């Protein structure tokens, strides 16, 4: 089973035994529901919308802005295939039409439903690296964690659609609270000031402006003694 995916039956819910065990990521879990035929308008004879061959056994709901936008019916084999189509295997992601199309395409290539295609698409994509912390996008895909705050900017293009899908929010725009500025005399602020001054001092030394470098050194020393006290 790909990492980050759990089987529905082990999801902590007591489901009837005959329920289909779909491979979905934890995030999809509440959305991938076994088909209910009664009163749902879904007929038992319906085919999988992915392979169009097998009987549909699971429905996946695409949720956007807190409302069900789309319902996809797929079969066992295809749900496994779709599970491999997540951009980020570690980052839970709802299955969407887009993922379905990708799965269809991959199936056209491999010809066999249920066999996960090799991630040649991912291989082909150029690997971006964050200049600040040195994390590459591939590394991020593997770890599922970003290396630093700057990664958000470095990977912005790829990350934005991912964020939109994870959070079901379009556009990906924060609407909550904002942090205030820290007090100027807090230890962290002083530490940052020291770092800036050190950079300036190094620059001054390089320019052979020793007078300025000495002034900066005194200022740094002053701040550092203040911090120790």
145: tokens are 């964690």
d(CA 84, CA 104): 12
Q: Which of 55, 69, 97, 191 binds other proteins (CB under 8 A)?
A: 191
CB of 137 to other proteins, least distance (A): 12
| Contact map string, positions 90 to 129, toward other proteins, x by CB under 8 A | -xx-------------------------------------
**Of 53 and 189, CB closest to other proteins:** 189
Q: Does 177 bind other proteins (CB under 8 A)?
A: yes
Q: Which of 112, 149, 203, 214 binds other proteins (CB under 8 A)?
A: 149
Q: What's the first-to-final CA gap in the chain, in angstroms? A: 55
228: tokens are 């120790």
d(CA 69, CA 173): 20
Q: Which of 21, 129, 168, 209 binds other proteins (CB under 8 A)?
A: 168
Rounded to the nearest angstrom, the gap between the alpha carbon of residue 171 and the centroid of all alpha carbons in its chain is 16
Helix ranges, the chain (H)? 76-83, 97-110, 120-124, 137-143, 151-154, 156-167, 187-206, 210-228
Q: Does 69 bind other proteins (CB under 8 A)?
A: no
d(CA 227, CA 205): 25
CB of 7 to other proteins, least distance (A): 9
Q: Does 186 bind other proteins (CB under 8 A)?
A: yes
- Contact criterion met (CB below 8 Å) for 68 and 61: yes
Non-local (6+) Cβ contacts of 216 within 8 A are 197, 198, 200, 201, 204
Non-local (6+) Cβ contacts of 205 within 8 A are 213
Non-local (6+) Cβ contacts of 86 within 8 A are 25, 93, 99
CB of 132 to other proteins, least distance (A): 7
Q: Which of 63, 115, 125, 205 binds other proteins (CB under 8 A)?
A: 63
Q: Which of 71, 115, 128, 166 binds other proteins (CB under 8 A)?
A: 166
Sole window of 49-57, 101-109, 116-124, 172-180 interacting with other proteins (rule: CB under 8 A) = 172-180
Q: Does 37 bind other proteins (CB under 8 A)?
A: no
Q: Does 17 bind other proteins (CB under 8 A)?
A: no
CB of 157 to other proteins, least distance (A): 13
Q: Where along the sequence are the contacts to other proteins (CB under 8 A)?
A: 6, 10-16, 26-27, 29-31, 33, 61, 63, 66-68, 91-92, 132-135, 143-149, 152, 159, 162-163, 166-169, 172-183, 186-189, 191-192, 195
């Amino acid at each position: 089973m790909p990492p980050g995916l759990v089987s529905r039956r082990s999801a902590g819910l007591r489901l009837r035994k005959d329920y289909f065990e779909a491979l979905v990521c934890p995030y999809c879990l509440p959305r991938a529901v076994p088909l209910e035929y009664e009163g749902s308008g879904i007929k038992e004879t319906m085919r999988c919308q992915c392979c169009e061959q097998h009987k549909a056994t699971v429905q996946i709901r695409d949720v956007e802005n807190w409302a069900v936008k789309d319902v996809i019916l797929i079969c066992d084999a295809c749900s496994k295939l779709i599970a491999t189509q997540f951009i980020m295997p570690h980052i839970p992601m709802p299955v969407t039409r887009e993922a379905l199309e990708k799965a269809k395409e991959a199936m056209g290539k491999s010809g066999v439903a249920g066999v996960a295609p090799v991630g040649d698409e991912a291989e082909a994509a150029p690997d971006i690296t964050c200049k600040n912390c040195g994390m590459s996008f591939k590394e991020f895909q593997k770890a599922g964690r970003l290396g630093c705050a700057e990664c958000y900017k470095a990977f912005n293009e790829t990350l934005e659609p991912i964020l939109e899908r994870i959070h079901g929010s379009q556009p990906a725009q924060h609407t909550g609270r904002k942090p205030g500025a820290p007090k100027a005399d807090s230890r962290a602020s002083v530490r940052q000031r020291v770092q800036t001054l050190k950079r300036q001092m190094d620059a001054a030394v390089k320019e052979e402006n020793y007078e300025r470098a000495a002034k900066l050194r005194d200022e740094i020393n002053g701040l550092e003694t203040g911090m120790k006290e």
